[in-house]
Amino acid sequence: MTAVTGFVEVRPYAELNAFVAAEYRGVASRRPFRPHQTVKDVAEAMGIPHTEIDLIVVDGEPVDFGYRPRTGARIAVYPVFEALGIEPIERLRPAPLRDPRFVADVNVGKLARYLRLLGFDVQWSPTAADETLARVSTDDQRILLTRDRGLLARKVITHGLFVHAVDPVEQVVEVVRRLDLTSRLAPFTRCMRCNDPLVEVPKSEVLDQLEPLTRRYYDDFRRCVGCGRVFWAGSHHDRLVTLVETIRARV
């Protein structure tokens, strides 16, 4: 095991402080450092997933994840810049995906369903292993949503988001705000169960799937192109409309 040969000073900024121990929040703290370590290693050793970092500055100069600092270096770690333009500086995160699609960890199952309700393409399985999630995120260019910091630390993952909120509705609001997805909301266009799109169908095509009262009182229907389930604006729909309106009001 390589012995510690020196120290660096590290300061996390803004919401990155949520990932570090209380004594390291909002201050420059002295951290043990080994010569083989990169700035990415140093940040992740503090608990900050690399997918949450947009800029690292060492002794006043922006660097990439592979940069090896000298002993005594001062390292500043910044999150994604939403309001402040840093165009002259090369960002560490890959360019945002033009068509945001997601893969969700087992620990955010309700978030996955609510995002589907809003029209987003979200893959989710209650049995998906970490290896599967990482592979799907990388191969299919999907943003990985999770509350597992260790999962986001995997090198293969380029687009990931640590979900801070615990309440599912708050989680949706957080994701929509952080990724600026308000203009992309398309409620009731995707199946909450299987994630495939919904298409409008004539009543005559689904009569054999309807209960007598549904046949009598409803005329507008949508069907999932994947699982074949039929949807209409019944009593359950009113609850979902209220949920969508709550989310819209928050974002």
- Per-residue pLDDT tens for 118-159? 999 999 999 999 999 999 999 998 999 999 999 998 989 988
What are the residues facing 77 on neighbouring strands? 12, 56
At residue 223, does pLDDT exceed 50? yes
- pLDDT of the residue at 236: 85
73 lies in the same domain as 109? no
In a domain, 207, yes or no: no
Number of domains in the chain: 2
- pLDDT of the residue at 82: 42
179 lies in the same domain as 119? yes
In a domain, 171, yes or no: yes
The letter for the amino acid at 119 is G
Domain of 37, CATH number, reads 3.10.20.30
Summarize the confidence of residues 93-100 as an average pLDDT: 64
Q: Residue 156 is part of which domain span?
A: 102-184
With bands split at pLDDT 50, 70 and 90, how would you rate the model's confidence at 85? very low
126 lies in the same domain as 61? no
Task: Note the maximum CA span of the chain.
Answer: 78
Distances (CA, A) of 114 to 99, 121, 162: 18, 11, 17
In a domain, 229, yes or no: no
Low-confidence winner among 82-86, 199-203, 220-224 (lowest mean pLDDT): 82-86
Q: Mean pLDDT in the chain? A: 89
The residue written with tokens 């599912």 in the block is 168
The domain boundary, picked from 143, 159, 184, lies at 184
235 vs 185, which has greater pLDDT? 185
The letter for the amino acid at 193 is R
At residue 81, does pLDDT exceed 70? no
Distance CA 129, CA 235 (A): 36
In the 3-class helix/strand/coil scheme, how is the chain assigned residue by residue?
A: CCCCCEEEEEEECHHHHHHCCHHHCCCCEEEEECCCCCHHHHHHHCCCCHHHCCEEEECCEEECCCCCCCCCCEEEEECCCCCCCCCCCCCCCCCCCCCCCEEECHHHHHHHHHHHHCCCCEEECCCCCHHHHHHHHHHCCCEEEECCHHHHCCCCCCCEEECCCCCHHHHHHHHHHHCCCHHHCCCCCECCCCCCEEEEECHHHHHHHCCHHHHHHCCCEEEECCCCCEECCCHHHHHHHHHHHHHHHHC
What are the residues facing 8 on neighbouring strands? 31
The residue written with tokens 């689904």 in the block is 206
Burial of residue 37 (CB within 10 Å: 0-12, 13-18, 19+) is middle
At residue 34, does pLDDT exceed 80? yes
131 lies in the same domain as 169? yes
